[in-house]
Structure 1
Amino acid sequence: MKTLLIIAHAPSENTKLMAEAVLKGAQHPDIEQVQTRWVRPLEATPEDVLSCDGIIMGTTENLGYMSGALKDFFDRCYYPCLEVKQGLPCALYVRAGNDGTGTCRAVETICTGLRWNWIQPPLVCRGDWQTLFIEQCEELGMTMAAGLDVGIY
């Protein structure tokens, strides 16, 4: 059994719906060998990362940067995971009021330092709220979990 860790900051009802959609996609009934956990960034520990086989991060765009909660997660987990989790499959989704560029760049820089492997470019849900964001997040969760399930990642 493999473990997919979702580290998602969800300060609003809409961002909570996005995190739940990632979780729902990852728990698709056809995916049999992956267990999925959603942990909020401020509650996540290095042990959570050390025990996972893949990670999806979710954040809001805050002043052109990731949420403080996700940054705190990285501050606490970076060095304990640096040498141990190289090659960890990762993905990112961003709820962006603007363009999400600064947020993606910041997270990508940290993950590059950790030597994690991106399974796809970041999913950036820009502008006014759209129900399409839920579908995109569900697809992201399903993609990562299915890849883990069949051994692609």
Structure 2
Amino acid sequence: MTSTQKTILIVWHSRTGAARQLAQAAEDGARRIAAELHTLEALRLIVKKADAVAPEDLLAADGYLFCAPENLAALSGAMKEFFDSNYYAVLDQLNGRPYGLLISAGSDGTAAARQAERICTGWRLVPIAPTLIANVAAQTTEAILAPKQISNEHRKAADTMGSTLAALLL
């Protein structure tokens, strides 16, 4: 990594695929804008499942994209565990860094968004845009447990979130 290279850490958790697709679209957007700006070599993208992220990963990044599902009106357990296990290890060391938040939800998503936003506020991160909530309209047990496919609208919005973060850093 060069001293001018910027690192985006994309942290994700997904059970049925929607949050993973949001993370992929955000990664694609970041890579696309870096290519358009002719600065692809200046951008380092690290994509990690929530349970694989360590404090060192957070400290080494210049910006973050957090992608998670809402489960039972809260962040998914694995994403909450990511925040819980890393929170104090990096507290007061991430101040002012930019982040984007992408939530997949069956109907609402606002509770998970509020929960994650409060944690990011505690880390003193700066949001680059309003939280993206991708509502997949899963209301029955079968629909909730089934593999998901995000809409083109949500895919484009996640791409924009990734490209916005990359553009801000580059």
The reply to whether TM is greater than 0.5 is: yes
Q: Structure 1 residue 127: deviation in Å? A: 3.6
Whether 1:145 aligns to 2:166 is yes
Matched-pair contact (CA < 8 Å) for 2:64–2:99: yes
Correspondence 1:12 to 2:16:
yes
Q: Which residues of 2 match residues 67-82 of structure 1 at below 5 A?
A: 67-82=76-91
Q: Let me know the Cα RMSD of the aligned residues.
A: 1.3
Instruction: State the percentage of identical aligned residues.
Output: 34
Please give the residue correspondences for 1:108-123 in structure 2 after superposition, counting only pairs within 5 Å.
Answer: 108-123=117-132
Distance in 2, matches of 1:10 and 1:127, equals 13
Deviation at 1:76, TM superposition (A): 1.2
- Correspondences of 1:1-153 after superposition (within 5 Å): 1-28=5-32, 29-31=35-37, 32=39, 33-128=42-137, 129-149=150-170
TM superposition shift of 1:59 = 0.5
The question of whether the paired residues in 2 share the 8 Å contact of 1:10 and 1:19 is answered with no
- Partner SS state of residue 14, structure 2: coil
Look up the equivalent residue of 1:137 and give its one-letter code.
Answer: A
**Structure 1 regions of 5+ residues with no counterpart?**
none
Q: Deviations over 1:88-130 (max 9, x none)?
A: 2111001111211101110111111111111111011114342
State how far apart, in whole Å, the 2-side matches of 1:87 and 1:15 are: 25
Structure 2 Cα separation of the partners of residues 70 and 118 of structure 1? 18
**How many angstroms does 1:19 deviate by?**
1.6
Q: Residues 66 and 103 of structure 1 are in contact (CA less than 8 Å); yes or no, is this contact kept in structure 2?
A: yes
Aligned pair in 2 of structure 1 residues 13, 70: CA closer, same or farther (>3 Å)?
A: closer
Residue aligned with 1:59, SS = strand
- TM-score, with structure 1 as normaliser: 0.91
Gaps in structure 2 of 5+ consecutive residues: 138-149
Superposition misfits of 4+ residues, deviation over 4 angstroms: none
Contact residue 10 and residue 46 of structure 2 kept, 8 A: yes
What one-letter code is carried by the residue in structure 2 that aligns with 1:103? A
CA distance in structure 2 between the partners assigned to 1:115 and 1:19 by the alignment = 22
Pick the structure with greater CA Rg. Answer: 2
Q: Quick one: which amino acid aligns to residue 168 of structure 2?
A: G
Aligned residue for 1:12, secondary structure, equals coil
Output the TM-score relative to the length of structure 2.
Answer: 0.83
- Size of the alignment, in residue pairs? 149
SS in 2 for 1:27: helix
